[in-house]
A = this chain, B = another copy of it.
Amino acid sequence: MLSHLKNLLFGETLANDQLAHQKFTVFWGLPILSSDAISSVAYASEAILLVLIPVIGSQSYKYMFYAALCIVALLFMLVFSYRQTIDNYPCGGGSYIVAKDNLGVVPGLCAGAALSIDYVLTVAVSISAGTAAITSAFPLLLKHRVLIALAIIAFMTIGNLRGMKDSSRLFGVPTYIFILTIGTMIITGIVRVHVFGQTPAASNEILPSFGNITLFLFLKAFASGCTALTGVEAVSNGIPNFVEPAQKHAKKVLALLAFVVLFIFGGLSYLATLYHTVPSDSKTVISQIAAQVFGTGFLFYLVQVTTAMILIMAANTAYTDLPLLLSLIAKDGYAPRQFGKRGKRLSFSNGITILCLCSGILLIMFRADTNALLPLYAVGVFISFTLSQSGMFIKWIREKKIGWRHKALINGLGALVTFFTAIMIGITKFRHGAWIVCLLIPSFVYCMLKIKEHYKEVSVELKLSKNERPISKVDNDRKVIILVDSLNKAFLKALNYSRSISNNIIAFHVATDEESAMSLKKKWDEYNVGIPLVIEYSPYRDLVSPLLGYIKKEEDHTKSGESVTVVLGQFVVTKWWHNVLHNQTSMFIRNKLYRERNVSVVTVPYIINE
């Protein structure tokens, strides 16, 4: 019944050879790999304004525009740097791999930890922002936003566990619609104001100012806007998914991505400046601009819906990338091995499940509030940018191939700028949540190193040398202990098995009350079982300790290091609810016995009521 439900929800199990990658052209690669980067624009301008407006009021719009320009400049620097990564890591050059290859294990793990945290945040932030787009259009839903966000996560998790390969091309469409809709909005808005001389409703309102612009405030605004750059890395990770020549296509997509972000981010920032939009809890900046430009008709709702869709798709890229990253780390032995196994639908189901859990908890803790989540975001991304760029820089210096000076300059500059940005984000957002990430990254790295150490120790301990040869003598005098609860057919089956492997058997009964012990003893003699019965009374109703005590005594007695065999008759019922009716004593005893070095446990099942 349960497995039917599972099949209905997740689909039939897939065979190994059904694993096939869909290859992208530039036209489909752009929307699919860049939804994260493009969508982050939806909340970046808002994040900048939220820093500036409470302090400098109406002056904010000017400085917001400067901050946006700096961010775009940084974007182009990143694009140049990443083009070089694409050239050199044709199999996908995630920060984890680049940093590990060139800087060593610990920087690699740092990048891996930073990225993992940021993927979780991508899901939480994007889905919060997507939910905000929905509730801006339908304010009645505002009080249910946590529930809506969780429903989207649940839906996305099931979809990813099923594996969404077949429909992934469909995912490209909303991105194009988003680009078109927002593009139309930007052009219409600019034309209305500059050509037709429309005066936006809010632009004459003077917002109160409580201070002047300071360098720190500007840097804080810049740092907040840097969330617009998250997701740039996705293209260089996804090279193997392009049709050949893959690297060339990937570089083209990266360049196109930069121009799209430039256009949309620049345009939206400019419009916000024109319309003097003030972000509020219930209305996003985009929704306010759309309402001013388009009124509240069809086009307004189209903007909201496509924004929500592209944000949800951005979350979906984390669902593709994090499990893959975890599987790479797991294959290197730095994460639990289960992350490297494919589930019934060939997706990395454990990674997907953990992403669902973590981002769900974050959403509940932060009540699906994008602006509360944002301070945690971006630190991780810029740490991984820095590590990846530094890795490339070191690589050029070390290899000294043709043109290495030029290349080292680009990546070095990239590393430097992203490093300073990371520091800036860390400092300005530290109190608002970045400290959590600063604590988490080193603890994750520590755990990953510990995990590797454990796997190494286990593998050393298990390693077989050629000198250790198996024995080849059958031993019919091994010590066998059968546990007996009462004299019945299940016991007889266990007894027969014991007889067939040894001539040295005793039966052991743990009595919790004397009456039942006497009755067993009587039946034992009547039936004339033919092997000795040892009864131990357990005043604390503990079934295992008396047995372990007996085994210990036997071992001391025989002075041999040989193993004792404990035989248990397990009776198995065929209807699941029948299990409720039987004490699961046998299972309990077994699980305790497995901790004993010299005890082999034999389970002889007896099936009832087939």
* Chain A interface (Cβ < 8 Å from any Cβ of B): 13-17, 336-338, 341-342, 344, 451, 454-455, 457-459, 461-464, 466, 468, 470-476, 478, 487-492, 495-497, 499-503, 512-513, 527, 529-530, 539-542, 563, 570-574, 578, 580-583, 590, 593-597, 599-610
Bound: A377/B574 CA distance, A: 38
Given known pairs A337-B582, A539-B15, A595-B572, the reply for A463 and B476 (CB within 8 Å) is no
A470-B492, A541-B342, A609-B461 known; A600 vs B603 contact (CB < 8 Å): yes
**Contact between B474 and A500, CB atoms less than 8 A apart:** yes
Q: Is the CB of A595 within 8 A of B607?
A: yes
Are A487 and B464 touching (Cβ within 8 A)? yes
Q: Within the assembled complex, what's the spacing in Å between the Cα atoms of A411 and B540?
A: 44
- In the complex formed, the residue of B with least CB distance to A538 is B16
Tell me which residues across on chain B come within 8 A of A502, comparing CB atoms. Answer: 474
**A478 partner, pick from B455, B471, B500, beta carbons under 8 A:** B500
Min C-beta distance of A388 to chain B, whole Å: 28
CB pair B454–A581 under 8 Å, yes or no, is yes
Q: Which of B341, B470, B474, B490 contacts A529 (CB 8 A)?
A: B470
Cβ–Cβ contact A462 & B490, under 8 A: yes
Chain B residues within an 8 Å CB radius of A596: 605
| Beta-carbon contact of B475 and A500 below 8 Å | yes
A472-B499, A488-B462 known; A451 vs B600 contact (CB < 8 Å): no
In the complex the two chains form, is A461's CB within 8 Å of B600's CB?
Answer: no
| B500 near A583: Cβ-Cβ < 8 Å | no
Q: Which residues of B contact A475 (CB under 8 A)?
A: 500-501
Q: A492-B464, A500-B475 are in contact. Are A16 and B581 (CB under 8 A)?
A: no
Q: Are A581 and B337 in contact (CB under 8 A)?
A: yes
Residues of B within 8 A of A466 (CB): 527
Closest to A567 in B: B600
In the complex, chain B residues whose CB is within 8 Å of the CB of A572: 594-595
Which residues of B sit under 8 angstroms from A594, Cβ to Cβ? 570, 572, 603, 605
Chain B residues near A540 (CB-CB < 8 A)? 13-16, 344
Given contacts A336-B581, A488-B464, are A539 and B609 in contact (CB under 8 A)? no
Does B609 contact A457, Cβ atoms closer than 8 Å?
yes
CB pair A496–B471 under 8 Å, yes or no, is yes
Interface core residue of A471, A594, A609 (most chain B CB under 10 Å):
A594
Task: Tell me the bound Cα distance from A459 to B488 in angstroms.
Answer: 8
Cβ–Cβ < 8 Å partners of A608 in chain B: 457-458, 461-462
A578 touches B454 (CB 8 A): yes
Report 25 cross-chain contacts, Cβ distance below 8 Å, ordered by A residue: A13-B542, A14-B540, A337-B582, A344-B540, A454-B578, A457-B608, A458-B573, A458-B609, A461-B489, A462-B571, A462-B606, A464-B487, A470-B492, A473-B499, A474-B500, A474-B503, A475-B500, A476-B476, A572-B595, A590-B603, A599-B605, A600-B602, A601-B602, A602-B602, A602-B603
Q: Collect the chain B residues with CB atoms within 8 Å of residue A473's CB.
A: 499-500
Query: Is the beta-carbon distance between B499 and A471 smaller than 8 angstroms?
Result: yes
Q: How far is the CA of A529 from the CA of B471 in the complex (A)?
A: 11
**Complex: A490 Cα to B461 Cα, angstroms:** 10
What is the distance, in angstroms, from A293's C-beta to the closest C-beta of chain B? 46
Contact assessment for A604 and B600 in the assembled complex, using a CB-CB cutoff below 8 Å: yes
Contacts of A527 in B (CB 8 A): 464, 466
Closest to A475 in B: B500
Q: B residues within 8 A CB of A607?
A: 595, 597
With both beta carbons as reference points, the residue of chain B lying nearest to A497 in the complex is identified as B600
Contacts beyond the supplied A457-B608, A458-B571: 11 A-B pairs with Cβ under 8 Å: A13-B541, A14-B540, A16-B512, A337-B581, A458-B609, A462-B490, A470-B496, A474-B476, A501-B501, A595-B605, A602-B603
